[in-house]
Amino acid sequence: MNYEEAVQWIHAREKFKIKPGLKRMEWMMDRLNHPEEKITAVHVAGTNGKGSTVSFLRNIFEGQGLSVGTFTSPYIETFNERISVNGRPIADEELAEVVDRIRPLSEELKHTSLGEPTEFEVITAAALLHFSRLDLDYVLMETGLGGTYDSTNIIHPVLSVITNIGHDHMNILGSTIGEIAGEKAGIIKQGVPLVTGASQQEAAAVLAEKAAECHSPVFWYGKDFHADHLTSGAGRETFRFISESFVSPAWKSSMLGPHQVTNASLAIQAAEVLRHRGAPLERQRYGGAIEKTSWPGRFETIRHKPLTIVDGAHNEEGTGALVETVKRHYSDRRIILVYAALEDKPVEKMLHKLKEVVDVLFVTTFDFPRALSAEDLEELSPVPHTEAVPDYKTAVRKASAQAGDDDVVLISGSLYFISAIRTFLK
């Protein structure tokens, strides 16, 4: 099997079907000689901020000279980036080789009572098999959806991180913050410490109860550690990390928005927990790692004339964070937004949030199974100056043509849309 055949076979799996339970993963791990037991993992769940937190923590580890595997989703430019080592995506031939190992197992599973694995289960198994063959210091595993029944929950990590709890995938995870928190809490393991940014009282109560059951120490953002956000400006956030045992000097991050300061703090606290447990981490190297961190599709500048920023704000919390970031950095600019979203998102609520900062809105669509049409989005838009443009490339060209020297072209909505946009513009 070559690379193209491997990717095509993966995408032919049951892409969006949810099949609860870890039985298929357990079966595959057993047949693969338990690769999940051969890695030192940090497990990261949460509604928003997983990818950014993983990126901050990866850079902290790399800044210490450590080797780090990362498993993230979705991909932005190439499929391979989901499985990376020190920021380098898995090579085509390596991906083809691990998929070639997993494919016959998938076919065998298909004829059992468990049924064939989903696309995400196959990718998770491929990542674990690949990482297990390398001499890595840490593997950072990001959940795909929820936690309890997520295929990544087959691992037994040295540390769990839950970034935050918000309203997303409610048709699957639950209709209340408490129910969603219960699913995220599923990654908490017996005796394994938890670092979390969950702030809602209902969510915190659920996490605290599960952590107590598992005798897992919890480190809460806002209680055990926090960030003193000093300034926003000049393309940087400046902050100081504060915990009982460590107060940092002022550090700068090019990941913009107050939410990214929180994500950076979660990563620093994760490093601190591991440091106190014997990991060879030097605090004086944290700052350089934070400043170096970037993550595609998160308030990312991809053009300067006109200033063009892409941000995958795909749910209510992400949209709120985007609006706050625009207010902090571009409150004096005219904002021209190009927007596309999926039908299972609270689009009307998100557009009402965006109305606070958007002057002109171009709604569009893209080639994706659940993408809303430009016309549907136009009907939902509360922005007075809204225009439906069915072709997203034309929408971007129109927005760019309207932008003056001091205007900002903002492109947002689904992360899948951002992936298409980055391919188009780069």
pLDDT interval class at 170 (50, 70, 90):
very low
Position 374: which residue type? A
Residues 6+ apart with CB under 8 A from 287: 248, 249, 251, 252
* Mean pLDDT on 317-339: 96
384 and 413 in contact (C-beta within 8 Å)? no
Among the listed residues 102, 58, 402, the one whose alpha carbon sits nearest the alpha carbon of residue 264: 58
> How much is the pLDDT for 145?
79
pLDDT tens track for 21-69: 899 999 999 999 999 999 999 999 998 899 999 999 999 999 999 999 9
Confidence band, pLDDT 50/70/90 cuts, at residue 426: confident
Whether 16 has a pLDDT exceeding 60, the answer reads no
Cα–Cα distance measured from residue 67 to residue 62, given in angstroms and rounded to the nearest whole number: 6
Give CA–CA dist 407/73, Å, rounded: 32
Distance set, CA 325 to CA 206, 215, 266, 267, 310 (Å): 30, 38, 19, 20, 12
Of the pLDDT bands very low, low, confident and very high (cuts 50, 70, 90), residue 5 is: very high
Whether the CA torsion 346, 348, 349, 355 is positive or negative: it is: positive
Summarize the confidence of residues 115-144 as an average pLDDT.
96
Residue whose token pair is 């870890």: 22
Sign (positive or negative) of CA dihedral 320, 325, 331, 333: negative
- Amino acid residing at 371: A
Distances (CA, A) of 216 to 146, 148, 154, 184, 194: 19, 16, 18, 15, 7
Across residues 333-350, what is the average pLDDT? 95
Instruction: Give the Cα separation of 298 and 295 in Å (integer).
Output: 6
d(CA 164, CA 166): 7
d(CA 55, CA 300): 14
Whether pLDDT at 100 is above 90: yes
Tallying the residues shown for the chain, one arrives at 426
pLDDT of residue 171: 44
Among 360, 394, 364, 358, CA closest to 377: 364
Whole-angstrom distance, CA of residue 208 vs CA of residue 239: 28
Place of tokens 């920023």: 309
20: confidence class by pLDDT, cuts 50, 70, 90: confident
The pLDDT of residue 179 is above 80: yes
How far is it, in rounded angstroms, from Cα 136 to Cα 127?
Answer: 13
Say if residue 327's pLDDT is above 90: yes
Structure tokens at 346: 């609270």
Whether residue 296 is predicted with pLDDT greater than 70 in this model: the reply is: yes
pLDDT at residue 172 tops 70: no
Q: What does the pLDDT average to over 309-315?
A: 93
The reported pLDDT for the residue numbered 17 is: 57
pLDDT score of 148 more than 50:
yes
What is the spatial distance between Cα 402 and Cα 396, in angstroms, rounded to a whole number? Answer: 10
- Distance of alpha carbon 224 from alpha carbon 273, whole angstroms: 12
Per the structure block, which two tokens stand in for 174?
Answer: 């639950």
CB 321 within 8 A of CB 259: yes
Residue 314 pLDDT: 85
Question: What Å distances lie between residue 349 and 52, 181, 370, 410, CA to CA?
Answer: 24, 22, 18, 18
Pairing status of strand 159-162 against strand 41-45: parallel
Mean pLDDT of 202-219: 97
Residue 299 has pLDDT above 60, yes or no: yes
Record the tokens describing residue 87, joined without a space: 């920021």
Half-sphere exposure of 167 (CA within 13 A, CB side): 13
Percent of the chain at pLDDT > 90 equals: 87
Domains and CATH numbers, the chain: 3-292 (3.40.1190.10), 300-425 (3.90.190.20)
- Distance between CA 420 and CA 320 in Å, rounded? 23
pLDDT of residue 15: 59
Whether the per-residue pLDDT at 175 is higher than 90: the answer is no
Give yes or no for residue 377 having a pLDDT over 90. yes
Give the phi and the psi of residue 73 in degrees, each rounded to 5.
-160, 155
How many whole angstroms from its chain centre is CA 168? 13
Q: Which residues are 14's β-sheet partners?
A: 118
Q: What is the pLDDT of residue 63?
A: 98
Percentage of the chain beyond pLDDT 70 is 96
Q: Where are the alpha helices (DSSP H) in 293-346?
A: 316-330
CB–CB of 89/7 below 8 Å?
Answer: no
pLDDT of res. 18: 59
Tens of pLDDT, residues 251-293: 999 999 999 999 999 999 999 999 999 999 999 999 999 999 9
Neighbours of 65 (CB within 10 A): 10
Q: Is the pLDDT of residue 167 over 80?
A: no
